[in-house]
Structure 1
């Protein structure tokens, strides 16, 4: 076996390792949801405390993503990937042994922080390891497929583990996966980072943006309970604006900013982040309200509910892994992303026609296959567009940005659409199948409108000529396959 063959295998096995780590990050956003009633009984916790078991993870994850991405660029992507894995694994282990709800919430914060370091580091490793074109399209297709399947897999695993092994295993399931990943890091992943002379850390920028993102996610989580027009919501929102304004001022004056604001001059990156916000704002509420419809209207139990979501996830995974890469290579990322947004909107609008006496086949499976196909066509072009035109030394920043966009979008979408739903439900004095369905379908129809906005952003902000240029680059890469020495032109330290 030649050196080139070994190099090739190492890179693609490394991709499997990175995707496995990303899988547990996405999984943990949903796997604990099904275990909430059991956890409440175990600790005698009220609903507010249980909400924070879920929200603490989202809050830390969304708040620290940009910091995690920049640390990967400065301190080494493999190194920060390992740090994130260790934090995530230790928090998962300790969380399962938690003796109180407060300790469990604290471990979820550490899990979220570990995920915020791990995820952008892993994604930036992909962007600097795989050559722009066919290779990177395939790599991001696998990455997107794992992300699309992880959420629903969490619902299924959460139900099975809680019922047959105990709620602790929704956390402990991460430990052997983390251990396996740690053993394979050094053999499969090379270290890459910026030159030592460039390693300057923007502490003021890191503090202001992390505070701004954390307060933003916290406000979105709590706004439905506070009331969107309440003094607390308005005051908290004003604080977010002030912190972001301070962050922009700091970054403009910083010699080595945490976020080089000139990166937003790259239209594909800017459009991808706007579209990523929309995508996050659709995926999280879609799975949330589908679960509620299946359990509260169709009266399925938790495990059956999870299984009902499997067909949609299989379609998402399959299309992302196969068609997603091939279509981006042939057509470019803009038309594929636009097609995905359109299909996702159709699927959501179809969910919006669900009936109180509906059936799984008509009201869940059929629209789910359409929405799943849309998701499968969204993730790959989204990540490709977010990385196109980005210098290798800002790969971690670009990865942190697209991950942050999706997390903020998820929190915003769930908060807004939950308000729409509960406003409808409050109009009905009795929670019947009819009133519940009315509320859930209102959320789905609202999400379909948001998908339309995502489609508009895709065709207006992302330039078609940039997308065509990516196709041309991919065609050239077919005839000129770079050698292992030229595939990664960034310094290795």
Structure 2
């Protein structure tokens, strides 16, 4: 693949700002509908069984195309794939806002997620080629990590403000003007790149297998409250999902031009980073959604007050990703920063497992928000930097697609599984004569405890699998690097701190 020539400094950062803003908007749309679901349900008459698919359809479309889109970006150009995905996302957002029944809304959410996945799959690849200097790349990864770490909480805030202040339609309409402006700027500012063309192969069969496996897996978990874990429905569809995924692995091991070259996972940091990413998103993204539901359904908050409750989490996450990560990364390396951030997130999620029915905000919620916000703001840029550890420029798109897919699988399966577990536990307590509000609260508490356990697994992988970073040199800051030194320092290895 012919790599683009990075534009001059100021133009490069403006182009990056466009990419980062779109990352944020795409991740925001995973959770933005959460606090608007009640209004959507009442307006469109969506039955309770289908309501979860307003969220699930987006994540399914998103996760299903990430690997294929990353590969296509390498073949036809990442900029072109980004523009196609962003156009699809923006158009589907407009039609989702216009939806007149549940079928149209769910279909548009799937298409919206598909466009989001196409754009998101290549963003990290573009960013890596924009920034070769370790300091600049650390700053860029911090900002990109902020977009992903804070996206879920900002989605809750935006959804609460828009659905309360205007109407639920605007949780979708808001994407349209932002998307149009981003399309114009990206077309002008993002450098062009050229790939070898579609003749090199895109492995559509592999993409179909992994997408079908994800679809059946999420459907199976989402319907557990209706059928039970040991039912023929659950075991049958779950077994089919596993079989399809095994078929995908066999296909990738034998295809002449695979969608995912399995040999890339011999890289411990890439493989371990993606496992950590999957486990982290499987715990924290569902946590953001479930804690918002807890505030509304148990505590009785309105969508607007729920949005204000999330402000501290979003603010500290932004500060840590944008202002703190780059400095800590240069001093200690991404692995150390990742482990420290995961410890903070585990502490916050463990505290969340104790939330009462009648919480005192500064005692029961604020410490949780601060710990998860600070930890998440450090974890996401660190894990994305580690997950992009590839040596060949031709594999940047693949690494970007794999990193996005691992996060999206975590999001999708985590949301479906934890919602199903919380609902099943609540229903069992009510069937045993428990008071509904207390039963609902205990269901959320169990889900939060599981998120803490999943994050502990991610912490164990980070400690045991990821390679330690070299110790930073001591002493005062050195002189600014020359052009040759900057070129030699390009990559993911830590540089001397300042």
Shared fold, TM over 0.5: yes
Query: Aligned pair in 2 of structure 1 residues 50, 437: CA closer, same or farther (>3 Å)?
Result: closer
**1:231 equivalenced with 2:232 (yes/no):** yes
- What SS is found at the alignment partner of 1:28? helix
Cα distance in 1 for residues equivalent to 2:288 and 2:437: 19
Q: What does residue range 43-442 of structure 1 map to in structure 2 within 5 Å? A: 43-131=44-132, 133-196=134-197, 199-425=200-426, 426-428=428-430, 429-442=433-446
1:476 CA displacement: 10
1:477 CA displacement: 11
Query: Aligned pair in 2 of structure 1 residues 219, 487: CA closer, same or farther (>3 Å)?
Result: farther
Post-superposition Cα deviations, 1:347-392, rounded to whole Å, max 9, x if no partner, equal 1111122222321111101121011111011011101101123421
Pick from 444, 462, 468: which aligns with 2:470?
468
CA contact (8 A) 2:286 2:411 kept: yes
Post-superposition Cα deviations, 1:151-174, rounded to whole Å, max 9, x if no partner, equal 122222212222232221111100
Give the number of equivalent residue pairs: 482
Query: Aligned pair in 2 of structure 1 residues 218, 391: CA closer, same or farther (>3 Å)?
Result: farther
Counterpart of 1:37?
38
Residues 436-445 or 114-123, more deviating: 436-445
Post-superposition Cα deviations, 1:168-210, rounded to whole Å, max 9, x if no partner, equal 1111100001100111113211122433497322232222222
CA contact (8 A) 2:201 2:257 kept: yes
CA contact (8 A) 1:128 1:488 kept: no
Structure 1: which 5+ runs fail to align?
none
- What SS is found at the alignment partner of 1:35? helix
Cα distance in 2 for residues equivalent to 1:374 and 1:85: 30
Structure 2: which 5+ runs fail to align?
492-498
Counterpart of 1:479?
481
CA contact (8 A) 2:152 2:289 kept: no
1:443 CA displacement: 1.8
Query: Aligned pair in 2 of structure 1 residues 5, 65: CA closer, same or farther (>3 Å)?
Result: closer
1:5 CA displacement: 11
Cα distance in 1 for residues equivalent to 2:227 and 2:446: 21
Query: Aligned pair in 2 of structure 1 residues 92, 486: CA closer, same or farther (>3 Å)?
Result: farther
**1:451 equivalenced with 2:455 (yes/no):** yes
Post-superposition Cα deviations, 1:111-141, rounded to whole Å, max 9, x if no partner, equal 0100110101112111222116222221111
TM value normalised by structure 2: 0.90
Residues 432-441 or 236-245, more deviating: 432-441
Post-superposition Cα deviations, 1:273-315, rounded to whole Å, max 9, x if no partner, equal 1001111111122112211322233221111011101101111
CA contact (8 A) 1:72 1:193 kept: no
Post-superposition Cα deviations, 1:259-280, rounded to whole Å, max 9, x if no partner, equal 1111101111111110011111
CA contact (8 A) 1:136 1:384 kept: no
CA contact (8 A) 2:286 2:414 kept: yes
Query: Aligned pair in 2 of structure 1 residues 469, 126: CA closer, same or farther (>3 Å)?
Result: farther
Cα distance in 1 for residues equivalent to 2:136 and 2:226: 46
Query: Aligned pair in 2 of structure 1 residues 194, 377: CA closer, same or farther (>3 Å)?
Result: same
TM value normalised by structure 1: 0.91
Cα distance in 1 for residues equivalent to 2:309 and 2:352: 14
CA RMSD of aligned residues (A): 2.6
CA contact (8 A) 1:224 1:415 kept: no
